[in-house]
Structure 1
Amino acid sequence: MKKASKLNSQWILTPLLKSDNDPKIEDKTREVEEKCYEFINKWKDRTDYLEDPAILKTALDEYEHLSANYGTDGDVGYYFGLRSSQDQDSPAIKAKYNKIVDRSIKIGNDIQFFTHRLAKVSPEMQKKFLEFPGLHDYSHWLELLFNEAKYLLSEPEEKILALKSVTSYSNWVRMTSSFISKEERKIKGKKDKVSFSELMKLVNDENKEMRDSAAESVNDILRTHADTAEAEINSILSDKKTNDELRNIERPDLPRHLSDDIDTEVVDALLDSVESRYDISKRYYNLKKKLLGFKKLKYHERTMPYGELNKKYSYEDAVKMVGDTFKKLDGEFHSIFEDFVNNGKIDVYPRKGKYNGAFSIHGLKTQPGYILLNHADELRDVTTLAHEMGHAINNELIRTKQNALNFDTPLSTAEVASTFMEDFVLDELEKGANDELKLAIMMMRLDDLVSSIFRQVACYKFEQELHHTFREKGYLPKEEIGKIFVKHMSNYLGPDVEMYKGTENWWVYWSHIRRYFYVYSYASGLLISKSLQGAVKEDKAFIAKVKEFLSAGTSDSPRNIFLKTGIDIGRKQFWLDGLDEIEQLLVKTENTAHSMKKI
Structure 2
Amino acid sequence: MKETWSLDVLYKGYDDPQFEADIKKLDELIAQCNTLADTLSDKDETATLKQILTTLNELEQVSYQLLAYANLRQSCDTTDAQTAAYLDKITKKTSNVAKAKAKFNRYIAQIKDLDACLEKEEALQEYTYLLHSIQEDGRYLLSDDVEEVLSKMDISAGQAWETMQSYLTSTLEVDYDGKTTTLSQIRNLAYDSDKKVRKRAYEAELAAYAKIRDAIAFSLNNIKAQVLTECELRGFASPLAMTLHQSHMKQETLDAMLSAMDDYMPVFRKYLKRKAEMLGYQNGLPWYELFAPIGKDDTKFTIETAKDYLLKHFAPFAQDMADMMEEAFADEWIDFYPRKGKVGGAFCENLPFLKQSRVLTNFDGSLGDVVTLAHELGHAYHGMMIQDHKMLNTDYSMPVAETASTFNENIIMNAAIDEAEGETKLALIETQLQDLTQIMCDIYSRFLFEKKVFEKRKEGFLFPDELEAMMLDAQKQAYGDGLDEQYLHPYMWINKSHYYSSALSFYNFPYAFGGLFARGLIVKYHEMKDAFVPKYRELLHATTVSDVEDVAKLADIDLTSKDFWISCLKTAEERVNEFLTLSESYNK
Q: State whether residues 130 and 142 of structure 1, in contact with CA within 8 Å, keep that contact through their aligned partners in structure 2.
A: no
TM-superposed CA distance for 1:177, in Å, is: 7.1
Structure-2 residue corresponding to 1:3: none
CA pair 475-185 structure 1, distance change in 2 beyond 3 A: closer
Greater mean alpha carbon deviation, residues 260-269 or residues 58-67: 58-67
1:351-407: CA deviation from partner (whole Å, max 9, x where unpaired):
88766654332235245333345555432343233222211111111113x222111
| Other-structure match for 1:244 | 231
Distance in 2 (CA, whole Å) between partners of 1:194 and 1:403 is: 44
Q: Deviations over 1:404-445 (max 9, x none)?
A: 211132211112111212321223323443422211111111
On the 8 A contact 1:72/1:107 being kept in 2, the answer is: no
Q: Does 1:413 align with 2:405?
A: no
Residue 267 of structure 2 aligns with an amino acid whose one-letter code is I
Does residue 360 (structure 1) correspond to residue 348 (structure 2)? The answer is yes
2:275 to 268, 284, 288: 288
Q: For 1:225-280, what per-residue CA distance to the aligned partner results, in whole angstroms no more than 9, with x for missing partners?
A: 66666666555544443332222222231121122222222222222221222112
Change (3 A) 1:492 1:13: closer
Alignment map for 1:469-488 (pairs within 5 Å): 469-471=456-458, 473-474=459-460, 481-488=467-474
- Partner residue of 1:47? 40
Alignment check: 8 A CA contact 2:4 2:334 kept: yes
Alignment match, 2:442? 455
Aligned to 2:238, what secondary structure does the other structure show?
A: coil
Query: C-alpha distance in 2, partners of 1:102/1:503?
Result: 34
The CA deviation string for residues 298-347 of structure 1, in whole angstroms up to 9 with x for no partner, is 23433333334321334333333322333211233233334434444445
The answer to whether the Cα contact below 8 Å between 1:454 and 1:523 also exists between their aligned partners in 2 is no
Matches within 5 A, 1:410-559: 410-471=397-458, 473-474=459-460, 481-500=467-486, 507=493, 509-515=495-501, 516-540=505-529, 541-559=531-549
Alpha-carbon spacing, 1:236–1:27, altered in 2? closer, same or farther (3 Å): closer
1:62 to 38, 54, 57: 54
AA aligned opposite 2:438: S
Q: Which moved more, 1:442-451 or 1:155-164?
A: 155-164
**Counterpart of 2:261 in structure 1: which amino acid?**
V
Letter in 1 for 2:118: F
Q: 1:570 to 1:51 in 2, by over 3 A?
A: farther
Higher mean displacement: 524-533 or 77-86:
77-86
> Counterpart in 1 of 2:291?
303
Structure 1 unaligned spans of 5+: 1-6
The residue type paired with residue 394 of structure 2 is F
* Alignment check: 8 A CA contact 2:228 2:238 kept: no
Q: Kindly tell me: are residues 286 and 362 of structure 1, through their superposed partners in 2, closer, same or farther at Cα, counting changes over 3 Å?
A: same
Which residue does the alignment assign to 1:384?
A: 372
Shift of 1:585: 1.0
Partner of 1:144: 133
* SS of structure 2 residue aligned to 1:115: helix
**TM-superposition CA deviations, 1:75-117 (whole Å, max 9, x none):** x65555545556667x5xx52x455434532442233334311
For structure 1, which segment, 521-530 or 291-300, has the greater mean C-alpha deviation from structure 2 after superposition? Answer: 291-300
Structure 1 distance, partners of 2:247, 2:418, is: 37
**Shift of the alpha carbon at 1:587?**
1.0
SS in 2 for 1:306: coil
Decide which of 373, 378, 385 is 1:397's aligned counterpart. Answer: 385
Give the number of aligned pairs. Answer: 580
CA contact (8 A) 2:368 2:431 kept: no
Query: Could you tell me whether the CA contact under 8 Å between 1:29 and 1:73 is conserved in 2?
Result: no
Pick aligned residue for 2:179 from 183, 186, 192: 192
Q: Give the deviation of 1:289 after TM superposition.
A: 0.8
> Identity of aligned pairs, percent?
24
Distance 2:9 2:168 in 1: 40
1:183–1:195 CA contact under 8 A, matched in 2? yes
Q: 2:316 aligns with which of 318, 325, 328?
A: 328
The amino acid that maps onto 2:63 is T
Alpha-carbon distance in 2 for matches of 1:477, 1:22: 45
**Cα distance in 2 for residues equivalent to 1:85 and 1:413:** 24
Aligned partner of 1:315 in structure 2 is 303
Q: Counterpart of 1:393 in structure 2: which amino acid?
A: Y
The counterpart of 1:117, out of the listed 103, 111, 116, is: 103
1:215 CA drift (Å): 4.3
Task: Kindly indicate whether the alpha-carbon contact (under 8 Å) linking 1:130 and 1:136 is maintained by their aligned counterparts in 2.
Answer: no
**Amino acid aligned to 1:427:** N
2-structure distance, mates of 1:123, 1:65 = 19
CA shift in 2, pair 1:449/1:374, >3 Å: same
Residue 32 of structure 2 aligns to which amino acid in structure 1? Answer: F
Structure 2, unpaired ranges of 5+? none
In structure 1, how many angstroms separate the alpha carbons of the residues matched to 2:280 and 2:340?
A: 39
Deviation string, structure 1 residues 22-81 (Cα, Å, up to 9, x no partner): 4544344434443x1463255132121x6643123421441354157x42264x655555
Instruction: Give yes or no for the alignment of 1:72 onto 2:63.
Output: yes
Structure 1 residues 267 and 298, CA gap change in structure 2 (3 angstroms): same
Deviations 1:458-481 (A, max 9, x none): 32123223433554x556666655
Does the alignment pair 1:26 with 2:14?
no
Query: In structure 2, how many angstroms separate the alpha carbons of the residues matched to 1:508 and 1:99?
Result: 25
- Identify the range of structure 1 (500-509 vs 256-265) with the bigger mean alpha-carbon deviation: 500-509
Aligned partner of residue 295 in structure 1, secondary structure: coil
> Which AA in structure 1 matches 2:509?
Y
CA distance in 2, matches of 1:427, 1:348: 24
Structure 1 position 549, deviation (Å): 0.8
Instruction: Work out whether residues 199 and 214 of structure 1, in 8 Å CA contact, stay in contact via their aligned partners in 2.
Output: yes
- Distance of 1:15 and 1:314 partners within structure 2: 26
Distance change (3 Å), C-alpha of 1:298 and 1:103: closer
User: Which residue does 1:4 correspond to in 2?
Assistant: none
Distance 2:259 2:421 in 1: 38
Amino acid at match of 2:48: L
Residue 62 of structure 2: SS of its match in structure 1?
coil
Over 3 Å counting, the alpha-carbon distance change for 1:220 and 1:399 in structure 2 is closer
8 Å CA contact retained: 2:190, 2:291: no
Residues 161 and 500 of structure 2 are in contact (CA less than 8 Å); yes or no, is this contact kept in structure 1?
no
Distance 2:460 2:18 in 1: 55
Q: Which moved more, 1:177-186 or 1:384-393?
A: 177-186
| TM-score normalised according to structure 2 size | 0.85
> CA 1:443/1:214 → structure 2, altered by over 3 Å: closer, same or farther?
same
Contact kept in structure 1, 2:346 and 2:376, CA below 8 Å: yes
**What is the alpha-carbon root mean square deviation over aligned residues?**
3.6
> Quick one: distance in 2 between partners of 1:388 and 1:358?
7
In structure 2, the residue corresponding to 1:360 is in which secondary structure?
strand
Q: Secondary structure at the match of 1:113?
A: helix
C-alpha contact 2:337 2:364 (8 A) present in aligned 1:
yes
One-letter amino acid of the counterpart of residue 517, structure 2: I
Partners of 2:352 and 2:145 lie apart in 1 by 29
- Distance of aligned partners of 1:533 and 1:367 in 2 relative to their CA distance in 1, 3 Å threshold: closer
Task: Kindly indicate whether the alpha-carbon contact (under 8 Å) linking 2:374 and 2:412 is maintained by their aligned counterparts in 1.
Answer: yes
- Following the alignment from structure 2 to structure 1, what is the Cα–Cα distance between the partners of residues 222 and 262? 29
2:359 is paired with a residue whose SS is: strand
Instruction: Deviation per CA, 1:121-158: give whole Å up to 9, x if none.
Output: 48662553576323321121123323333222212222
1:564 equivalent to 2:547? Answer: no
The CA distance in 1 between the partners of 2:339 and 2:483, in whole Å, is 38
